[in-house]
Structure 1
Amino acid sequence: MRVLVSGGAGYIGSHTVVHLVAAGHDVVIVDSFANSKPAVIGRLEALTGRHLPVHAFDLTDRDKTERLFGDESFDAVVHFAGLKAVGESARIPLDYYENNLDATFSLVRAMRRHGVKLLVFSSSATVYGEQAPLPYREDYAPLQSSSPYGRTKVMIEQVLTDVAAADPSMRFALLRYFNPVGTHPSGTIGEDPQDIPNNLMPFLAQVAVGRRDKLIVFGDDYPTDDGTCERDYIHVEDLAAGHVAALGRLTTTNSPVSVWNLGTGRGTSVLELVHAFERAVGRELPYEIGPRRPGDLPRSWADPGRAHAELGWSTTKSVDDMCADTWRWQSANPMGYEG
């Protein structure tokens, strides 16, 4: 299939591009480069051995989006593009609602006008909110979130569900990620946050490489084995493989909307991840315990049973793999894509 990947130069998008090409798909990338670096494209072409057409614009521009679909033919779309920082979304909520929703509206309108029926959407486990019981299951309702970022994911899931109800020929996959970490095992592509990392693994990697003085662990008095929060960390390579599996499933399913959790089904605490990263680096890393961070849940992890059963997909990478691959990327690229 010829697949348009929105946000294909980003962290998860770039890894998924490699997997799509390996699965035999022709890939075209559209990316505004607001949260990614143009340098990733050359690395993707080296990894895949393929020229990858790139369109550099923001999908909120409906005219450019329409022109892209008019000029080129696509069989499917994998949609990653959007703003994604939870904390930032609380400071500039209008920007998040405008960007994430408008980009999706623009994209889906163009798809419908040009007969493109298949869409894999990058959703998030944040849609389960604070009340869902563990492990998180796809049939939980009502969906909710404590951040504007998360609420855009809830809203987009509802928008796509409504579009599919109005046009049952559409096929949408809603992929609810848990905590993506790790990098391509070559160390060629990885996670390169624009500013101070919002997530644990890239911050820890920057501490290890000397860009940050120390890690602050937000609270050690949670009701967990070591007192720190537990999360379901999934290797980005496993996550990328899940997108390829979901795209394949859309070609055979009769369901207009399919929802799958992509996670390991296991919780790993902050301190467990820190110590795993220390094993990868070969030395202790500086950290200190700080106060709890508002909004952090003690535990969250997936029930990935539906993805196992319906996609034939399961995770293959361990926490030690996640840390070793991240360190290979960060040590080879201490300043990310810029050095």
Structure 2
Amino acid sequence: MFARHRRLRLTPAIRDLVRETVLTPLDFIYPLFVVEGKNIKQEIPSLPGNYHLSVDRLPEIVEQVLTAGVRSVLLFGLPEKKDEIATSAWEKNGVVQQAIHQIKKLFPAIWVITDVCMCQYTSHGHCGIVKNGVVQNDETLEYLAKIALSHAQAGADMVAPSDMMDGRIFIIRGRLDGGGFPNLPIMAYSAKYSSGFYGPFREAAHSAPQFGDRNTYQMDPANIRQAMLEIESDLRQGADVVMVKPALAYLDVIRHARDRFDVPIAAYNVSGEFAMIKAAAERGWIDERRVALETLTAIKRAGADMIITYYALDACGWMLEIV
């Protein structure tokens, strides 16, 4: 006698009952790009449906986020002034600091995560201090800690270091604890690969390196054992959540991390992954809703507890339609 697996696929009702992986709005973290100026809401060409927003225009988007059922945002700042040491990244009235104040004042329940890095704020576009054309690991750590502390002081709920410098979680944790924020969690970009999928983001964040590349600090896409070491190190140093980035091309890394570490795991469904689906859908080659939801389901199925995605708002609408 052979098994009749199709019995559990015959109707939508039975498929819903036996579904093993279910997406909800609470799985999503929505990225926001905040710029200096007033009354700015400009669609990002490479990320359709996503915008550069001035602080005064943030409330309308955050309200949409909450209405959709999403409870978390990830802030990226685009300053007007850049220099070699990313001074504007930790200024008290920096663009991200202002954004945090605005969001928490109007929407105290939303969970505000801030990207902690230097690339958007440096004139050279690298994620740390550069000397003689080389990114200096240890010298960079102090600057990252200053940025993280400034975000905490502005009211951030969680900081997310994305630079990939060795030891930055240890230094940031110490600085937060010493600065009066022992309960502020850290989401570490632990396994952040040197990927070709970041192109649209670098355009959106004005963060492309002005020379060279990031291969000396971001991970080689060929390596998975190294990713486990990075995650283990970040957890030892005080990370509360770890991240794999990108997500779709690194589902095996997410799964390995899920099997090995009993901690919350985030996955970043990055700009290139989003843009490819958008572009193919615009040409009529794929069903955007179906492929986007399939992609997000795959990321969760691989083991991610939370998904950073530009599709968060669309996905929530589509899921409501399905229900």
TM-score > 0.5, shorter chain as reference: no
TM-score for both structures, normalised by structure 1? 0.35
